[in-house]
Structure 1
Amino acid sequence: MTAAPDPRFSLNQWTTRYWPIPDLVAGCVARGVRGVGLWREPVAEYGLARTAKLMGDEGLAVTSLCRGGFFQEEGAIAENRRAIEEAAELGAPVLVLVSGGLPEGSRDIDGARARVAESLAELAPFAGSHGVQLAIEPLHPMYASDRCVVSTLGQALDIAAPLPPEQVGVVVDTYHLWWDTAAYADIARAGAEGRLAVFQVADWVTPLPEGVLTGRGMLGDGCVELRRFREAVEATGYPGPIEVEIFNEELWAMPGADALALTLDRFAEHVV
């Protein structure tokens, strides 16, 4: 008999990107996985209400919804309000936010970060009224120009600071933060401020494959001190799930059940 997985384990949907939602749910139930981080696009394709019902019927917790943000785009506030409503309907306690990069033709990174703060101030009360915490995810600096002007956990915490922690928190993602000498101090700060909303794990491998968006490594294949991150997050008193979020073409090409089995094995070996 296969051992039950660690109860903290959550499968982020993008780790098994092409696994249809009904199959993903059945596969997680079969392996004893109790948490799933969902993405808006496949949820919309399957149907928001259908997804919420299926997850509830099978007793699976939605640990987060990805994603909102991209505050430089036209209509961003309205789109993020829709994302908050979707998270609430799914029962997701957290909406993960990727801030967006520089506006086209701009070099004003300070202005772009100010726009993120302004947008959050506008959205936070709406999120709070829906029981959803917005979670700012800092991305590795190589994404700063086109995807995320928030590059460190410290920056994310500073942006969140004026707003209530139950409305705005942060994401700790090992893939994006492993390089930062301040990461562990900032994890402690996030815990002390009550802002540690989501903990995600993936590994960093080099050389990066062509197309860095799909360059995350399977747990244990790279250079990240995954267990050290887990211990630092736990030391804050964080009680939540540990989402495995890996963007990797080879993993996506595997049958979903095989990808989940490999992920569970590596999680047990390298994270817990």
Structure 2
Amino acid sequence: MRLSLNQRTTKRWSVAEAVDGCVRHGLEAVGLWREEVAEQGLAESVKLVREAGLRVSSLCRGGFLTAGGLPGEEGRLAFARALDDNRRAIDEAATLGAACLVMVVGGLPGVKPGEPMPPGASRDLAGARERVAEALAELAPYAGQRGVKLALEALHPIYCPDRAVLSTLGQALDLSLPYPEEQVGVVVDTFHVWWDPRLFEDIARAGRRIASYQVCDYLHPLPEDVLLGRGMMGDGVIDFRPITEAVLAAGYTGDVEVEIFNAAVWAADPDEVVATMKARYAGVVLPRP
């Protein structure tokens, strides 16, 4: 398996700095974020990655497809805007040659990430999931035309209200099945799925639909801002090796992307973070010989 640095793990690094850091540390792949790519410039980002000989293991992120569940004209316009933005994300992923576009599908309509539930926000969870399916029917063919795989990411249930109404790998997988595997796959992110009693069954069921394998640890207790509860592998509660073995057995041959949201990690020297990441990958994530 191949190690990739997700750019958000070293949040202070621009695209240029992340690419340079990967080269200096002997990594062959990088996972990029749309915001940083836009800041660097798409064409310049492509040039940097290609001249460094790196793979783009993923582009984060598309999604946030559920706002169409708002009533009336507001919902119609929100759905159209979401589709337009995701088509742009697909185009960016195609230009970068990314292995997949990670899709964080969105929470309840009207609920914004990390903010209190506003008046008029929807509580229709089933309807929000229907909006995701409707959007996927529009976006999957376009992604196929552009040679991009959409990677549906199930997020831990604590993020269901505001970030992802898909909470299990099985839910994400079921949503992907109507489409060719080269168009729609799933993400196995250890932080989000480690707790699921059906995890190993659904990894096996996913097979070659696994489009991305992302790793980081689940810290206990979680910090006040639960978004920052991701830790370096070995610092939390996850037993990585059985999950890695299951992903390998399912036929996954792509990169293993380390994606960490953590204030202390972000404040640390990025080169030290990458060095620790490499050591923990070898010592904690990979199966024993």
TM-score, length-scaled by structure 1: 0.95
1:161 maps to 177
Correspondence for 1:183 among 177, 185, 199: 199
Counterpart mapping for 1:64-213 below 5 A: 64-73=58-67, 74=78, 75-104=81-110, 105-191=121-207, 194-213=208-227
Cα RMSD after superposing both structures: 0.9
CA distance in 2, matches of 1:47, 1:241: 24
The ranges of structure 1 where at least 4 consecutive aligned residues each deviate by more than 3 angstroms after the TM superposition are none
Correspondence for 1:43 among 37, 45, 66: 37
Cα offset for 1:92? 0.4
1:20 maps to 14
DSSP 3-state at the match of 2:133: helix
Name the stretch that deviates more: 70-79 or 60-69.
70-79
**8 A contact 1:93–1:131 mirrored in 2:** no
CA distance in 2, matches of 1:262, 1:122: 41
1:226 maps to 240
DSSP 3-state at the match of 1:83: helix
CA distance in 1, matches of 2:177, 2:134: 12
User: In the TM superposition, what whole-angstrom CA distance separates every residue of 1:180-225 from its partner, at most 9, and x where no partner exists?
Assistant: 000110000000xx31100000101111011011110110011111
CA distance in 1, matches of 2:97, 2:240: 28
CA distance in 2, matches of 1:120, 1:76: 11
DSSP 3-state at the match of 2:61: strand
1:52 maps to 46
Cα offset for 1:8? 0.5
Name the stretch that deviates more: 254-263 or 109-118.
254-263
Q: Which runs of 5+ in 2 are unaligned?
A: 68-77, 111-120
Cα offset for 1:93? 2.1
**8 A contact 2:15–2:32 mirrored in 1:** no
DSSP 3-state at the match of 1:139: coil
1:245 maps to 259
TM-score, length-scaled by structure 2: 0.90
CA distance in 1, matches of 2:15, 2:35: 11
CA distance in 1, matches of 2:131, 2:252: 29
Cα offset for 1:262? 1.1
DSSP 3-state at the match of 2:179: coil
CA distance in 2, matches of 1:245, 1:93: 16
CA distance in 1, matches of 2:240, 2:265: 19
User: In the TM superposition, what whole-angstrom CA distance separates every residue of 1:208-256 from its partner, at most 9, and x where no partner exists?
Assistant: 0110111101100111111111000000111111001111111111122
CA distance in 1, matches of 2:278, 2:132: 35
1:34 maps to 28
